[in-house]
């Protein structure tokens, strides 16, 4: 009996040791799991804090820009030019230090690009719609070196169909729900105003390559079909916009010469702009619209398009602010679309990312 008890005692001790080792192993696994979760939670909290701080830096920068734009534009009766402080600060590329990082921003006058939403017009403004379609077509013809006539007509009319409210094709070049629903990954036409540049990639005829070329020339005024082009703030490397806006009365070369020789502080008024010799010649020239494959350019259609300088103005109210905030390990890019008024400014749209 004693021998049996003495023999089982080492076995019991061995079992107890194994149990202790198992408990230690389980505790270690649990501890490691808790540690990983704690580290993940700490990182998540830190990222959220950085994102929150980056957001408020963005809003703060936006507020400063709003005040600067309103002050300068109200003082100059909303005449905008590239020698104003907002434009000089934007073009400087300067980074402004803040606690924990820095802010860099670009301010773009939305009157120095073509408002794609101006192609959304009611039926009682068909003459103006034809003018906008012609301007859009001529802009694409000027900037798309390899763009053929069919592709350009497809983009123009499909954009009109994307913006309008109905399901009726404006021409055989257009596209509505039936065209997009038949794709591998189906979707429907927007039938409303564009809000983001990336939406253009959904429109029939717009390839990634075409999108990258045309994007710098375009803008989207939120829920607004109006458009004027400000030659004071038009970049020197965008003469195609002036060519399209004047319906060919000013050639691309003439537009480039005008942009190179305009006064540094621009023109004080739209009247002074029209009195410029280059503009006077353009106004007296016959417009040379490009109608594409849809319309026969007879005298009646041409007469409905209006004058060469109808869409030019030195006043600007719509601006886009693109801010990049570097804070800790975070890089935040945000865009704000501003409407500058005499009494107050409004943020019409905000988006995060590229």
pLDDT tens, residue by residue, 55-93: 888 899 999 999 999 999 999 999 999 999 999 999 988
Strand residue runs (E) in 42-116 = 96-98, 101-109, 114-115
- Residues 212-245 as b/e (b if ≥16 CB within 10 A, e otherwise) read eebeebbbbbeebbebbbbbbbbbeebbbbbbbb
Q: Write out pLDDT tens, residues 92-107.
A: 888 888 888 899 989 9
Q: At what angle do helices 126-143 and 149-163 cross, to 10 degrees?
A: 140
How far is Cα 343 from Cα 247, in angstroms, rounded to an integer?
35
More confident residue, 151 or 20: 151
For the chain, the domains span: 45-110+317-352, 116-217+236-304
**For residues 187 and 180, is the Cβ–Cβ distance under 8 A?**
yes
What fold is seen in the domain 116-217+236-304?
Ribonucleotide Reductase Protein R1; domain 1 (1.10.40)
pTM: 0.85
pLDDT of residue 75: 94
CATH match for 45-110+317-352 among 1.20.58.1690, 3.30.1300.30, 2.40.170.20, 1.10.3720.10 = 3.30.1300.30
Residue 274: pLDDT band (50, 70, 90) is very high
167: Cβ contacts below 8 Å, ≥ 6 apart: 176, 177, 178, 189
CA distances to 12, 111, 244, 300, 342 from 127, rounded to whole Å, are 99, 22, 17, 11, 32
What's the mean per-residue pLDDT of the chain?
Answer: 89
pLDDT of residue 4: 53
Q: Write out pLDDT tens, residues 134-186.
A: 999 999 999 998 888 999 999 999 999 999 999 999 888 999 999 999 999 99
234 token code pair: 């038009």
261: Cβ contacts below 8 Å, ≥ 6 apart: 278
CA distances to 46, 47, 320 from 53, rounded to whole Å, are 10, 10, 22
How far is Cα 349 from Cα 223, in angstroms, rounded to an integer?
10
């Amino acid at each position: 009996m004693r021998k049996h008890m003495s023999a089982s005692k080492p076995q019991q001790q061995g079992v107890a040791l194994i149990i202790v080792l198992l408990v230690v192993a389980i505790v270690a696994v649990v501890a490691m799991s808790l540690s990983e979760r704690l580290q993940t939670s700490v990182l998540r909290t830190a990222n959220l804090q950085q994102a929150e701080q980056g957001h408020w830096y963005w809003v703060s920068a936006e507020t400063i820009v709003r005040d600067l734009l309103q002050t300068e534009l109200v003082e100059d009766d909303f005449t905008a030019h590239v020698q104003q402080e907002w434009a000089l600060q934007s073009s400087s590329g300067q980074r402004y230090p803040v606690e924990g990082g820095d802010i860099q921003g670009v301010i773009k006058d939305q009157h120095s690009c073509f408002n794609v939403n101006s192609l959304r017009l009611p039926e009682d403004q068909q003459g103006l719609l034809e003018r906008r379609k012609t301007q859009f077509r001529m802009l694409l013809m000027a900037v798309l070196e390899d763009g053929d006539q069919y592709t350009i007509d497809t983009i123009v009319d499909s954009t009109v169909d994307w913006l309008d409210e109905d399901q009726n094709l404006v021409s055989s070049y257009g596209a509505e729900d039936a065209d997009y629903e038949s794709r591998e990954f189906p979707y429907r036409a927007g039938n409303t105003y564009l809000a983001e540049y990336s939406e253009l990639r959904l429109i029939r005829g717009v390839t990634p390559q075409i999108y990258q070329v045309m994007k710098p020339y375009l803008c989207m005024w939120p829920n607004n079909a109006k458009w004027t082009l400000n030659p004071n703030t038009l970049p020197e490397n965008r003469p195609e916009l002036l060519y399209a806006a004047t319906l060919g009365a000013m050639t691309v070369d003439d537009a480039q010469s005008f942009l190179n020789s305009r006064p540094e502080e621009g023109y004080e008024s739209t009247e002074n702009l029209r009195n410029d010799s280059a503009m006077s010649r353009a106004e007296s020239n016959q417009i040379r619209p490009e109608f594409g494959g849809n319309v026969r350019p007879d005298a009646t259609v041409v007469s409905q398009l209006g004058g060469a300088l109808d869409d030019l103005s030195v006043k600007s109210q719509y601006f886009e602010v693109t801010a990049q905030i570097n804070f800790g390990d975070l890089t935040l890019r945000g865009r704000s679309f501003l409407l500058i008024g005499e009494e107050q400014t409004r943020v019409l749209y905000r988006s995060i990312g590229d």
